[in-house]
Homo-oligomer: A and B are copies of this chain.
Amino acid sequence: MSQLPKQPAEVSVPTSADVARLAGVSRATVSYVLNNNATVRISEPTRRRVREAALQLGYVPHAAARSLRAGHSRMVLLPSGHIPAGPLHQYFFEELQSGLRRLDYTVVQYGSVGLTADEAATAWAELRPVAVVVPPGIALTPHGTGILTRSGAKAVITLGPGPVAGAHGLVMDQRQVGASAVEHLLARGRRHIGVVMPQEPCRAPFSEPRLVGARGVAEPAGARVCPLPLRYEEESAHRLAARWPELGLDAVFAYNDEYAMLLMRALQDAGVAVPADTAVIGADDSLIGRLLRPRLSTVRMELAMAQPLAETIDRMVQHPGGPPVHQDLLRTSAVHRESS
């Protein structure tokens, strides 16, 4: 059977065996040198030959082979969903990533939109991460937690809004945001409080608990809470503003500063005076709120971490036996400006 030569253009990726061959040593020696293994002494000339051979071939170790052999990886998986809400999250995740990298973990984000909770958990588990940090907006079930744990994850951490059985909960309880907003409005003498509910589905994991928090404060005080569906579009805002007189509200918590800007513009266009007729409060303490006229009252959010989360995760990975940690990272406070 005459066989044509296999594709000659097919470049073969150099392995540690190629490095060993070029340096004239064994694969073991290559591994010792490139990993700076301290338990074994390799002569300086050999070290240099190995390093030069690796450089010359453009050798890059194969992470999968390494972790297969080691029996574990140092990968921390960060499922990612839709737009993470606000600069707070952006900052939080950058801190987390750089902290973990300093501790020599490999941080990988895995886009998980369009998967059910258990499909996603299985997909994550296939990568055999040593830890999984699930942000708000990504579903994690107790069953999914089980899948991950059984596949070797030493720490499964949910960032909220609520706890999940089997997982550590470093939650960001969004109910606080609604509670702080409504407390502020009550303190300013308002009693008929609208709560904007964004209709974009990716907002639901935040907006629902915020509404719950708002109710939890308003009802004991005898105030009324009215959910107000709103899409992030001018037309939706104008329709809501047109209904304003019949709603009989004297205040509104607008989900965040951007929705607040949208609604406030529509209210002003409809002749509703802010804050005289209706007080408005947003959330996020973003710059745009300070640029509005009247300046926007808002709920400021901060993350309290006794110690950087990266180190907490590292500890969980090293001592997997411990009891589930449950802690609320979020601290909220209302900031009074001119719109309330």
* B residues less than 8 Å from A232 (CB atoms): 287
Which of B62, B80, B291 is A128 in contact with, Cβ under 8 Å?
A: B62
**Shortest distance between the CB of A145 and any CB in chain B (Å):** 12
* B residues less than 8 Å from A147 (CB atoms): 58, 60
Answer whether residue A210 sits at the interface, using C-beta atoms and an 8 A cutoff: no
Answer whether residue A256 sits at the interface, using C-beta atoms and an 8 A cutoff: no
Answer whether residue A122 sits at the interface, using C-beta atoms and an 8 A cutoff: yes
Q: Contact check, B291 vs A60: say whether CB atoms are below 8 A apart.
A: no
Can you show 13 pairs from A to B with CB atoms below 8 A apart? Answer: A11-B149, A13-B128, A13-B151, A58-B147, A58-B151, A61-B126, A63-B127, A64-B68, A65-B68, A98-B113, A107-B111, A109-B109, A258-B288
Answer whether residue A92 sits at the interface, using C-beta atoms and an 8 A cutoff: no
* B residues less than 8 Å from A61 (CB atoms): 126
Q: A216 vs B308: C-alpha distance in the bound complex, in angstroms? A: 47
Chain A positions 196 through 238: 1 when the CB is less than 8 Å from some CB of chain B, otherwise 0: 0000000000000000000000000000000000001110000
Answer whether residue A48 sits at the interface, using C-beta atoms and an 8 A cutoff: no
* B residues less than 8 Å from A234 (CB atoms): 287, 290-291
Q: A residues 76-116 with Cβ under 8 Å of B? A: 80, 82-83, 90, 94, 97-98, 101, 106-111, 113-114
Which of B97, B128, B287, B290 is A111 in contact with, Cβ under 8 Å?
A: B97
Measured CB to CB, the nearest residue on chain B to A63 is B126
User: What 16 additional pairs, Cβ within 8 angstroms, besides A58-B151, A62-B128?
Assistant: A11-B150, A13-B150, A58-B146, A60-B147, A61-B126, A62-B68, A64-B64, A64-B65, A64-B127, A64-B128, A65-B68, A68-B68, A97-B113, A98-B113, A106-B123, A107-B110
**Shortest distance between the CB of A144 and any CB in chain B (Å):** 11
* B residues less than 8 Å from A113 (CB atoms): 94, 97-98
Answer whether residue A9 sits at the interface, using C-beta atoms and an 8 A cutoff: yes
Q: A82 vs B265: C-alpha distance in the bound complex, in angstroms? A: 31
Q: Contact check, A261 vs B288: say whether CB atoms are below 8 A apart.
A: yes
Measured CB to CB, the nearest residue on chain B to A67 is B64
Measured CB to CB, the nearest residue on chain B to A12 is B152
Answer whether residue A185 sits at the interface, using C-beta atoms and an 8 A cutoff: no
Q: Contact check, A109 vs B128: say whether CB atoms are below 8 A apart.
A: no
* B residues less than 8 Å from A149 (CB atoms): 11
Q: A residues 147-173 with Cβ under 8 Å of B? A: 147, 149-152
Q: Contact check, A114 vs B101: say whether CB atoms are below 8 A apart.
A: yes
**Shortest distance between the CB of A275 and any CB in chain B (Å):** 18
Answer whether residue A272 sits at the interface, using C-beta atoms and an 8 A cutoff: no
Answer whether residue A142 sits at the interface, using C-beta atoms and an 8 A cutoff: no
Q: Which of A108, A126, A147, A291 has the most CB of B within 10 A?
A: A291
Answer whether residue A125 sits at the interface, using C-beta atoms and an 8 A cutoff: yes
Q: Contact check, A60 vs B261: say whether CB atoms are below 8 A apart.
A: no
Answer whether residue A14 sits at the interface, using C-beta atoms and an 8 A cutoff: yes
